[in-house]
Structure 1
Amino acid sequence: MQRYIPLGYCVGCGRLCICLLVILLLVGCGGGSSSGAAGGDGIGSSTDPLAGPLAGNPDGTCAIPLAALAEEVWDPDEVVGNGTPASCSAEAFITAVARGGKIVFDCGPDPVTITLNRPAKVFNNARPDIVIDGGGMVTLSGGGTSRILYMNTCDRDQVWTTSHCQNQDHPRLTVQNLTFIDGNSRNESEYEGGGAIWVRGGRFKMVNCRFFNNTCALAGPDVGGAAVRVFSQYEGRPVYVTHCTFGGAEGFGNYGANGGGISSIGVSWTIINSLFTHNRATGRGANPRQPGTPGGGSGGAIYNDGNTMTLSLCGTLLAHNEVNAHGAAIFFVTNDRSGFLSLDRTVIRDNIGGSWYNLPGISMHADTAREIIDSVLE
């Protein structure tokens, strides 16, 4: 075990603490309802979100910057439903996402699960800000057969809006107070990975969300993100992940070729007070793949590949994730060694499998810059 001596803390309370309290209260509302438990390989299975763990790391104590907080939705642009569970249909949700803006739900007093047979897709020429807020009462399911949510500024079918689709400031997508279950992108051939959510371009943020039993392609040298896959964020700004859970308990983990929780190429991440457990990277043979193997199997929780990028974790727990190749918890490879890894009040322990380690649970080049503050790696 390696323990690192505290070098300092970021501090903040007041308004920030109040906002975090609101997030915690929303989590207490639960997720959605469905029959059955997490099962098998996720195909056609039904994960019960009410049985799953709450959002976020309960021991996380890091202050949350304003940019990483939930967005306000007091004056929504779109309301899915008219007060009954039946009115909160997949079609109503897909239509609302296509229109964009602030999206909330009116599905009645009880938790509800909305099961999609195709992804909801963001249109780049709709409202520039898309905020999807489930109020702690809504679960979005792929039913074991479909990805749940898709945004791509470089997809002509979603309308090109600039001449530099790989680096534009909108759409800006936020998902908050939602549960994503049983997403499956294995039947996606052009935009692989991202079992629950696939994003390219603009900006993306997740707050107070849970990801259970999502899956993507099971093998391949660079495909992944069983829950979430991200590319090309505007000006290299980070994806914020605040108070989210990926897996969190046995039977609820996400799994795919690489990056059982999240995966990206050339994208920076700031992950705060979050939980990654029981996720799996199922590929074999790493990247580049070894002869006679399909490739993959790296990054049980997190898979980051690229050049200049930062992975920052504060108040986050990564445990019981599993790989066949490298990085039982984290695979963080910046090919030109210009990246930066930051761990603050983060615990990495009891992750399983893999090789090529210079920090417990983390596969990265030995000369990549890093800062480790008051964290436990074992």
Structure 2
Amino acid sequence: MHRLATLALALLALLLSGPVTGPGAVASPAIGPADGVRAVPVPAEAGAVDTSDPDRWVGNGTPQSCTSRAVVRAVAAGGVIGFRCGPDPVTIELRKTAKVVNTSRRVVLDGGGLVTLSGGGERRILYQNTCDPKQTWTTSHCNDQAKPRLVLQHLTLADGNATGERADGGGGGAVFVRGGRLKIVDVTFTGNRCDRTGPDLGGAAVRVLDQHRDQPAYVVDSTFTGGRCSNGSALSSIGVSWEVYNSTFTDNRAIGRGANPARSGTPGGGSGGAIYADGNDFHVLVAGTSITGNVAREGGGAIFFVSNDRTGTLTVRSSTLSDNPSLGFETDPGIFFLGRRQRLVDSVVE
């Protein structure tokens, strides 16, 4: 985080006996009637992918055939991946993290609403990093690589744990993505973890660094619950735009201590109970979404948003943010905002 944002946070930490607005923050009143959460239209690009003709399958029709090894191999091979694990819900506990190879054009995992991929509380579930030579180095501009495109849909990702994973800043208990593109549709994230302390480290469920040409990462019709991490215990990113539609965030907690950069004598972290977004020129849209019952030990029980160069924007539309305590500092209930423009449209924020 740049020095100006650092000074703003330091001032807020000293002043807090209630909600405040820091330098450069614009806290807009709600626009129009705030009548609770209602579904909003989703752009075609953010919708689910057609997986009726998969490139490969995990499993041969029985639960026993749907193994960790089969998932890891399918993700490495890439393409559209379906599951044949029988007619009943199945949980596949991964013994190794499934890693995307950077020569893949796209990797689509469709669980058909029956599949849970679990990290067993021991490991990260999915990993994509276009700047990791171990996953094949394809370009000197790895931080702006167009592919792979990772799509996760109709799945549950549970009990992922990236604690101790420090490459590229760590985080991403269920999913870590750097480069390419990411889309999440109808996915439930539950009980995921990453390191308990540390500044700028986050994403118990999802951590994203870089998207091709600064296009947004999409989250649609998804649920995030029970995440625990230093910061951003559902979504965490640096320099990444998000569009979040018709989703639910509950009981996610940013449990670090000392904010970012860390106050003297503290390990740092504790911001963005549900969503942590930091960087320069990036934009976050939250629409048709409920963010309720999340907690930040420092700032932004629901959303922590800091645009260091004050070019970034936050829009909350047709959504409800309630009971998201910020135990340190906030600019609106459950929100800490530092950027060019914040808009709360047809939303309840309390």
Bigger relative contact order, structure 1 or 2 (CA pairs below 8 A, ≥6 apart): 2
Which residue number corresponds to residue 206 of structure 2? 228
For 1:137-172, what per-residue CA distance to the aligned partner results, in whole angstroms no more than 9, with x for missing partners?
Answer: 000000010100000000000001122110011000
The within-5 A match list for 1:318-329 is: 318-329=291-302
Contact (CA 8 Å) 1:3, 1:375: kept in 2 or not? no
Q: Does 1:116 align with 2:89?
A: no
Q: Does 1:213 align with 2:191?
A: yes
Work out the number of aligned pairs and report it: 322
Aligned counterparts of 1:177 and 1:228: Cα–Cα separation in 2: 16
Aligned counterparts of 2:115 and 2:151: Cα–Cα separation in 1: 15
The match for 1:337 among 283, 296, 310 is: 310
Q: Does 1:4 align with 2:30?
A: yes
Which residue number corresponds to residue 267 of structure 2? 294
For 1:229-249, what per-residue CA distance to the aligned partner results, in whole angstroms no more than 9, with x for missing partners?
Answer: 0011000000000000001xx
Which residue number corresponds to residue 11 of structure 2? none
The match for 1:73 among 43, 51, 54 is: 51
Once the two structures are TM-superposed, the CA of residue 99 in structure 1 deviates from its matched residue by: 0.3
Once the two structures are TM-superposed, the CA of residue 343 in structure 1 deviates from its matched residue by: 1.0
Contact (CA 8 Å) 2:37, 2:320: kept in 1 or not? no
Moved over 3 A (4+): none
For 1:113-141, what per-residue CA distance to the aligned partner results, in whole angstroms no more than 9, with x for missing partners?
Answer: 00012210000113x01110000000000
Q: Does 1:255 align with 2:232?
A: no
Once the two structures are TM-superposed, the CA of residue 3 in structure 1 deviates from its matched residue by: 6.9
Q: What are structure 2's unaligned runs of at least 5 residues?
A: 1-18, 20-27
Aligned counterparts of 2:101 and 2:325: Cα–Cα separation in 1: 40
Q: Secondary structure at the match of 1:205?
A: strand
Opposite residue 302 of structure 1, the aligned amino acid is I
For 1:50-72, what per-residue CA distance to the aligned partner results, in whole angstroms no more than 9, with x for missing partners?
Answer: xxxxxxxx943100110110000
Cα distance change on mapping 1:289 and 1:187 into 2, 3 Å: closer
Opposite residue 374 of structure 1, the aligned amino acid is D
Once the two structures are TM-superposed, the CA of residue 7 in structure 1 deviates from its matched residue by: 8.3
Once the two structures are TM-superposed, the CA of residue 74 in structure 1 deviates from its matched residue by: 1.0
Contact (CA 8 Å) 2:131, 2:142: kept in 1 or not? yes
Aligned counterparts of 1:242 and 1:356: Cα–Cα separation in 2: 29
Opposite residue 254 of structure 1, the aligned amino acid is G
The within-5 A match list for 1:86-97 is: 86-97=64-75
Which residue number corresponds to residue 25 of structure 2? none
Aligned counterparts of 2:259 and 2:62: Cα–Cα separation in 1: 48
Aligned-pair Cα RMSD in Å: 1.7
Opposite residue 44 of structure 2, the aligned amino acid is L
Aligned counterparts of 1:151 and 1:237: Cα–Cα separation in 2: 17
Aligned counterparts of 1:286 and 1:135: Cα–Cα separation in 2: 40
Once the two structures are TM-superposed, the CA of residue 371 in structure 1 deviates from its matched residue by: 2.1
The within-5 A match list for 1:179-218 is: 179-191=156-168, 192-218=170-196
Contact (CA 8 Å) 2:217, 2:243: kept in 1 or not? yes
The match for 1:148 among 106, 119, 125 is: 125
The match for 2:138 among 155, 158, 161 is: 161
Cα distance change on mapping 1:369 and 1:353 into 2, 3 Å: closer
Opposite residue 198 of structure 2, the aligned amino acid is G
TM-score (norm 1): 0.83
For 1:237-295, what per-residue CA distance to the aligned partner results, in whole angstroms no more than 9, with x for missing partners?
Answer: 00000000001xxxxx1110000101000000000000001000010000010111100
The more displaced of 140-149 and 345-354 is 345-354
Which residue number corresponds to residue 368 of structure 1? 340
Q: Does 1:82 align with 2:60?
A: yes
Q: Does 1:346 align with 2:324?
A: no
Contact (CA 8 Å) 2:276, 2:305: kept in 1 or not? yes
% same residue: 51
Which residue number corresponds to residue 22 of structure 2? none
Contact (CA 8 Å) 1:142, 1:148: kept in 2 or not? yes
Contact (CA 8 Å) 2:29, 2:344: kept in 1 or not? no
Opposite residue 104 of structure 1, the aligned amino acid is G
Q: Secondary structure at the match of 1:295?
A: coil
The match for 2:249 among 264, 267, 276 is: 276
Aligned counterparts of 2:212 and 2:347: Cα–Cα separation in 1: 30
For 1:316-368, what per-residue CA distance to the aligned partner results, in whole angstroms no more than 9, with x for missing partners?
Answer: 11111011111111000000000011111011110123233221111012x53
Aligned counterparts of 2:87 and 2:291: Cα–Cα separation in 1: 34
Q: Does 1:356 align with 2:348?
A: no
Opposite residue 291 of structure 1, the aligned amino acid is S
Aligned counterparts of 1:354 and 1:105: Cα–Cα separation in 2: 43
For 1:217-237, what per-residue CA distance to the aligned partner results, in whole angstroms no more than 9, with x for missing partners?
Answer: 000011000000001100000
Q: Secondary structure at the match of 2:64?
A: coil
Aligned counterparts of 1:215 and 1:168: Cα–Cα separation in 2: 28
Q: Does 1:178 align with 2:151?
A: no
Which residue number corresponds to residue 107 of structure 1? 85
Q: Secondary structure at the match of 1:364?
A: strand
Once the two structures are TM-superposed, the CA of residue 183 in structure 1 deviates from its matched residue by: 0.2
